[in-house]
Structure 1
């Protein structure tokens, strides 16, 4: 049964990723059609076509390699600025040489011919389906703001998917929050340098000495009514060495106890509740009051006002990973080819996401609703990652096309300001050499992450 559940979790990720990719491309498709650009193909995946159907002027299909998708729009690149051509000519170069006759042309051909050929080939493909009736339906003739809307449509769709999933998670399932009811009362204090307490030389924790029990609900501390665990924790931390009266609800009755928190080194927590580390990766600590208990938790449904702040926090975390991606990839490579552990907060591939989903689905001792909520959160995070990653201003990512459109807008505005001739659309085909470099880097990065997720997967569950 566990194996079956694991497979179902993986299949859930495969299906969810496919839907996310499909809707990402819909985000490009819809505004392109609204702006009258002729879209010839809407494809999920790459490589050989497994299935396709033409509806109107667009062919919709699924390809063999499920590694993304694309929307093909005619006239993505403007004609060659020098001669207005969009297709390579077998005689054009010789005619040019005969007419201009200059050795300068030959020299330039040797230096940049290979790069120019890339642009020429791409330009030819972009215009191969353009007919006389499509003169005003090509992408490159669109105003800059329309180009930006089309290119941002895909990432925006991922943002929308992630936000909806996060809303369902927060408002429908809720989030686990610590309560003032005790789940664990530790019997012994852990001495400095020990990983676990020594049962043969046990120094009782203040909670054990005060005879607190699991299931007790703390209602007051030092005469103050307790309304939440975070509030109680702050009072305990500031009361080291002080005898404090404690009131708990036990089996429906109020019980008063006395407790004296001890001063001990505890981790410094971030706003997210995780231990804070210094530049060397060591957990920072501070001396605070401690009694030796752990709270129980319960799912609490959140209001709609909590959704956007949570989305913002998720995007900020993903952006932090992307900004430090080179450093994190080095850490992934070191872990993959050595005994070093993987960083649980580092980047993973779809293979890694699928493995985590399988583990979650296979946790038979966890309620089904909690497992499904975790999977929803996983898919929300994946869509936020797609949103942020696609905004990187490098081709072939959507952010690269947006950057090209913005450059075109600035160039045209400056020309108008200084009363110069309109330079026309920016020929983004000239950046194809850089595009191929970036695409190669992305392929290597993806291969590294997949390899690491196979030989040294991230372990989130111990």
Structure 2
């Protein structure tokens, strides 16, 4: 059954991510068609075609490698200077031979772009669209991802809410097995420490799930009261009554004075009585509507932008983890493969109730959409943000020429930025490969 749930979680994640990619591409296709552009292809995935169907002038389909998608909008690249045949308006031929590697790359790209364009397409070419239409078309894709993220987050925040705090209950969640210095909390105890230096709680026989009833005869009603009583007990023996599975047990525990941080001040240690238990935490949820969701997404956006700025360094860290030079950062990036594995673990986790599984999957999918949307706004080709930046520059350049009474400078030739696009595309490919290998060789888990 666990394997079935794991597979179901992976499939849910994969299908929803593919649907998000398809909707992203529709975010480009729909406004492009509305503005009179010609869209010849809409595909999810890359590589060999698995299925396709032509509707009107557009071919819709699925390809074998589900790692992205694309739409083919006719006329993205204008013909370069000197590449016309002499027609005062414009013909549809581009030069196919140049000297210089980058010049040849640009020319080859133009040739491929214009190979299937005929005279009847002249007024539908994308580069001839007004700059603001280009911005709308190229922003449409990532805006769809942000909209998906918004509605998914909103659905969770408006119903379940998100955890903003936790209330400590007078119930034992964990018994610390041995006494370790405060600055080493969480360290695994050695066999010698387990035998010779157990915590008072471990020595007294306290167990996870025990609910404190009284401490030295004083009834216990909350964790704060229990914590104060422990700290004030110094090195004395205390009589503790606990409720264990409906039965009250009396235990004797001799607390030990240990330097511990008080009131969240980790820099200052104060000697206090120490028992060695961690309380059970009850999460405190906060709900909200669309404004609350927008505020939370604003905070998330700042975090994502900071992560994007550090992405190459973090991916390099994943590469080092693959060859065993360091541990993988549990807060580092993952690929869609890693996201699928996490979704599978969420769905198959025995201790998660169904509601928590659904919420976790929805939040995971929303987070991926938020990341994809913001990533695509990076103002570099081949990302959507590169085309948006080119269109905005075109609009500013033309407006400045009008203000100064100068001739119209014409369209911005994004083809000149193709060398940057090739470098950026190669970098994205390499980072994607590293993350996928990392998610297979040194995967992150829920317990990381």
Classify the secondary structure of the residue corresponding to 1:264.
strand
Is 2:182 the partner of 1:182?
Answer: no
Equivalent positions of 1:445-456 (< 5 A) are 445-456=431-442
Equivalent positions of 1:177-256 (< 5 A) are 177-184=165-172, 190-192=179-181, 195=188, 201=197, 204=200, 214-215=210-211
The Cα offsets for residues 197-235 of structure 1, whole Å up to 9 and x where unpaired, read as 857555658xx9xxxx955699xxxxxx99xx9xx69xx
Decide whether aligned partners of structure 1 residues 28 and 202 sit closer, same or farther in structure 2, where only a CA change above 3 A counts: same
TM-fit CA distance, 1:265: 3.3
Q: Which residue of 2 aligns with 1:334?
A: 320
TM-fit CA distance, 1:383: 0.7
What is the Cα-based RMSD across aligned positions, in Å? 3.8
Equivalent positions of 1:70-149 (< 5 A) are 70-84=70-84, 86-88=92-94, 109-110=98-99, 112=100, 114-149=101-136
- In structure 2, distance between residues paired with 1:217 and 1:118: 77
Q: Which residue of 2 aligns with 1:371?
A: 357
**8 Å Cα contact 1:87-1:121 kept in structure 2:** no
Q: Which residue of 2 aligns with 1:158?
A: 145
Which 5+ residue runs of structure 2 have no aligned equivalent? 85-90, 215-220, 235-242, 247-254
Classify the secondary structure of the residue corresponding to 1:376.
helix
TM-fit CA distance, 1:9: 1.4
**8 Å Cα contact 2:83-2:95 kept in structure 1:** no
**8 Å Cα contact 2:83-2:94 kept in structure 1:** no
TM-fit CA distance, 1:242: 11
Q: Which residue of 2 aligns with 1:314?
A: 300
2:281 to 285, 290, 296: 296
Q: Which residue of 2 aligns with 1:411?
A: 397
TM-fit CA distance, 1:187: 7.6
Q: Which residue of 2 aligns with 1:8?
A: 8
Classify the secondary structure of the residue corresponding to 2:65.
strand
Which 5+ residue runs of structure 1 have no aligned equivalent? 94-108, 219-224, 244-249, 252-258, 270-283
Decide whether aligned partners of structure 1 residues 128 and 187 sit closer, same or farther in structure 2, where only a CA change above 3 A counts: closer
The Cα offsets for residues 47-68 of structure 1, whole Å up to 9 and x where unpaired, read as 2222222222222111222121
Classify the secondary structure of the residue corresponding to 2:49.
strand
**8 Å Cα contact 1:41-1:58 kept in structure 2:** yes
**TM-score, length basis structure 1:** 0.76
TM-fit CA distance, 1:332: 0.9
**8 Å Cα contact 2:176-2:278 kept in structure 1:** no
The Cα offsets for residues 266-314 of structure 1, whole Å up to 9 and x where unpaired, read as 7969xxxxxxxxxxxxxx7543788854243257461214322222232
The Cα offsets for residues 216-269 of structure 1, whole Å up to 9 and x where unpaired, read as 699xxxxxx99xx9xx69xx89x98799xxxxxx99xxxxxxx99986137969
Q: Which residue of 2 aligns with 1:264?
A: 260
Classify the secondary structure of the residue corresponding to 1:77.
coil
- In structure 1, distance between residues paired with 2:213 and 2:155: 30
| Structure 1 runs (4+) greater than 6 angstroms displaced | 239-243, 259-262, 266-269, 288-291
**TM-score, length basis structure 2:** 0.78
Decide whether aligned partners of structure 1 residues 433 and 191 sit closer, same or farther in structure 2, where only a CA change above 3 A counts: closer
TM-fit CA distance, 1:424: 0.6
Q: Which residue of 1 aligns with 2:27?
A: 27
- In structure 2, distance between residues paired with 1:144 and 1:260: 72
Q: Which residue of 2 aligns with 1:100?
A: none
Q: Which residue of 2 aligns with 1:272?
A: none
Decide whether aligned partners of structure 1 residues 267 and 199 sit closer, same or farther in structure 2, where only a CA change above 3 A counts: farther
**8 Å Cα contact 1:267-1:286 kept in structure 2:** no
The Cα offsets for residues 92-138 of structure 1, whole Å up to 9 and x where unpaired, read as x7xxxxxxxxxxxxxxx53x3x3233223322333344343433221
TM-fit CA distance, 1:385: 1.1
- In structure 1, distance between residues paired with 2:417 and 2:113: 15
**8 Å Cα contact 1:21-1:69 kept in structure 2:** yes
Decide whether aligned partners of structure 1 residues 39 and 455 sit closer, same or farther in structure 2, where only a CA change above 3 A counts: same
